[in-house]
Every structure is written in structure tokens, then in C-alpha cells.
Chains A and B, each alone.
Chain A
Amino acid sequence: MTSTGLDHPLVRDYLRELDDAFAALPAGQASELREQIVAHLDDALRPGADDEEVAGVLRRLGPPGDLAAEAAAGAAPRGRTTGGRRRFRPHRLGRRAGALTIAAVAVAGLLAGYVVAAGTAAPLQAAPSASWWYARDWTRAVETSADGHDQTTVPIRFGQRQGFVITVYNPSRWTQTILGPGADFATPDGPYAQLSVGDSLNIRRGGGVFRPVSYVLPGTIPPHQIRALRVMWTSTACLERGSSQGIDELRVRVRVGWVTRTEVIRLNQAWYLLGLSQGRRCGFGPGA
């Protein structure tokens, strides 16, 4: 098993601080930003980097609190733009109140109808085809079935990228756009992942790998069509030998018309990672 820069204790400490700092951010925003920072560190740090090198990369990245503040600042409502204050003119209000009220009620009715229709659109569903993303995983996957529940399990490759791709069907007459992870989003490795949607569907026979398609986020799924949904992460879960953890649903943030909601996609099989490490230090205990 190859070690990466993400294994370094300073990086682990930094990511823990990052999680604390991001706690106040919306889950989807925190998840995406964390994934970007992890990818940055993964690229910036060579395996076996020494303390000084790691500290330099982390220093240039900036304190986690500053990153959270920067993200929060961008999400805050914008202040008033230029153009001056509007005056309150009660006489105009009186003259137009009747017509405005009727128009407002009519528009509100139409909007409410639209929002209700969009909000009640059938949610996305998992379609049959699915696979671990990397050949190293799908060739070693163990499929099990018990009590009507299917499960696929692969060994965790600590510090390396793992993930899976499923197909998702949009049963509604609305275009649904996956915006990112929803609240309580989880992967077999934990709450953080890269989520992306294939812009077309191309299933390779045999391997079950979905290539070549471009994976994008936000990703659109037209009415009554199927698209690939890829979930990837860098495995950092600390799993004891023989223990495992996984998921059987995905919570994603989806835009339907003007409505944004969290949809729960029940997976056709549970996706699990299995701990295989022999004495690997996970960095959480006193002996780490």
C-alpha cells in the first residue's frame, strides 16, 4: 500500500482543524471545499514529504479559519449596491394598491403552482448498472447478498483515491440538476467526496466502467433519461483489520425547476470498504 502526503500527521491535524472550521458552513459547501483542499494537498505533497515541506505547503494554504471565513464571506448576502436609497411614497402606494394586489395574488398563485409541481416531481432513482470506478477495486470487489440486501465490498486503499459510479434515472417530466452533496451526505469513507454527473451515458461492456464521458457538477439529467453519477474520495477512514463501513443511500442536492431540495437515492446495493491494514497508524490515537 502506497503512502501519500495525506498520511502525514501535520496534514491530518490540519484537516481536523479544517473540519472544525467548516462546521458553520452549509454541508454541501463544506464538503466541496474540503474535497478541493484535500485534492490540493494530494497534488502538492509528494509521498514521504518531510515536516518542513509539509508545513510550508500548509502555511501557504492558509489557516483553516481564514478559509472558512473566506467561504462564508462569499456566501453572505451582498450589501446594497450603488444607486441610492428609494423614497417611500405612500400616495403612490394608495393609487396602485388595488391593481398591484390583484396582480401579486395572480402571480403568487402561478408561482405557487409551479413550485408545488416542481417540488412534487418524482425524485431520482438508482438504475441497475453500477461499478467501482477503478479497475483495482472492481476486480477485487466481493459481492454478497443476505436478507434481500446486496453488498459490494472492496479493501480500503488508504490514502488513495477510490469511488464508484452508479446510474441514475430521472422518472419525472422535469429536468433535474444535481448540484452537489446534500445534508448528511455520506460515502463509504465518510462525509466528503467528489460528486459528478456524466454528461452522456456510455457503458463499457464487461468492466462496467462508464467511459468516455465527461463528468461535471452541476450535472443535468433530462426527463426520463439515465445518467452516470460518480462518487469519489481519497480514502482516509481508519478501519481496523476486518472491520468495514459503507453506505446504502446517497443524499444529493437537486434543483428541479426553481426548487432546490435534497433527494435520497436508495442504492441497489450497499458500497463498503474493508479494513485490511496491518498495524497501520491511523493518526487518531496516542500511539499515532
Chain B
Amino acid sequence: MTELRRGVLGPCVLALLELRPRFGLELVRDLADADGLLTSDGTVYPLLNRLRDAGLVTSQWRDDEGERARRYYSITKTGRESLTAFRAEWARFTATVGGVLNHDRPAPAVREGSQR
């Protein structure tokens, strides 16, 4: 499950940023509200940097009067496209896994001689 969580955390971050830009702690708290999604708060930051390097997220400093300067993260156009593609893939994936787990459909037959 840990690997599964790691895999979906990026799209979840993109989904939150799709609604509005957020600064680090704000993002961490929103993710932590989704029970079980975040194993530790700190892992969000390496992930954000990877998303930024991939062009899916951008960051911008805001220095509002009376507030400390904060780095706000926003989703990019490429990030939105990636999220849309992931949503479609995820829907198919969960339907497939759900079908197998709940015996809604026959498990695929093992073909002899098939190669990995």
C-alpha cells in the first residue's frame, strides 16, 4: 500500500492545486485531511520539486503586507493535461482491480508460454 500511496500522491497534489494555488503547509494539511494518504509531511516537498522539474507545477513567491513571504505552488497547463490523463487511467484501473477483487468478472486466464 505504501507504494500505491506514493504513486497516487502526485496526482492528488495536482488535483488540490487545480482548485487554487497553495503554500507548502497548506498543501500538507489538505493532504493530511485525506486519511492515510500522507505517511509523513516532509515527503511532500521532494515530490513538489519533482513535479516542478517535470513542468507540472510552478512556484511563485507572494509577499503580502503583514504576512511572511511564502512560496505558492500552482498547477501548469501541462500539469492539468497530465491530471486529466491520470483521471481517465485511474478510473479504468480501479474498475479493473475492483472487478477482480470482488469477483465481478473472471480472472484472466494464464496463457502457457507467455513471456514477461
Could you tell me which A residues sit within 8 Å of B by CB distance? 29, 32-33, 36-37, 39-40, 42-44, 60-62, 66-67, 70-71, 73-74, 133, 161, 163, 194, 196, 214-217, 230, 232
Contact = CB atoms under 8 A, between A and B. Distances in A.
B70 A39 contact: yes
Given A60-B32, A66-B43, A214-B61, 4 more contacts: A37-B45, A74-B50, A133-B63, A216-B58
A29 B69 CA distance: 20
B60 A62 contact: no
B50 to A, nearest CB: 5
B46 interface: yes
Contacts of A33: 45-46, 49
B61 A215 contact: yes
Contact of A61 (B42, B58, B68): B42
A44 B25 CA distance: 7
Contacts of A230: 61
A194 B41 CA distance: 20
24 contacts: A32-B49, A33-B46, A37-B45, A39-B25, A40-B25, A40-B45, A43-B70, A44-B25, A60-B32, A62-B40, A66-B40, A66-B43, A70-B47, A71-B49, A74-B46, A74-B47, A161-B68, A194-B71, A196-B61, A214-B60, A215-B60, A215-B63, A216-B58, A217-B59
Given A39-B71, A216-B61, A61 B41 contact: yes
B11 interface: no
A216 B74 CA distance: 11
A166 to B, nearest CB: 15
A232 B24 CA distance: 17
B28 interface: yes
Interface in B53-71: 58-61, 63, 68-71
Contacts of A73: 46
A62 B69 contact: no
Nearest to A72: B46
Given A61-B42, A194-B69, A232-B69, A40 B28 contact: yes
Contacts of B32: 60
A43 B71 contact: no
A137 to B, nearest CB: 13
A64 B27 CA distance: 20
A40 B61 contact: no
Contacts of A217: 59
Contacts of A161: 68-69
Contact of B42 (A29, A37, A196): A37
A167 to B, nearest CB: 17
Contacts of B68: 42-43, 161
B24 to A, nearest CB: 5
Contacts of B42: 37, 40, 61-62, 66-67, 70
Contacts of B47: 70, 74
B71 to A, nearest CB: 7
Contacts of B60: 196, 214-216
Contacts of B48: 36
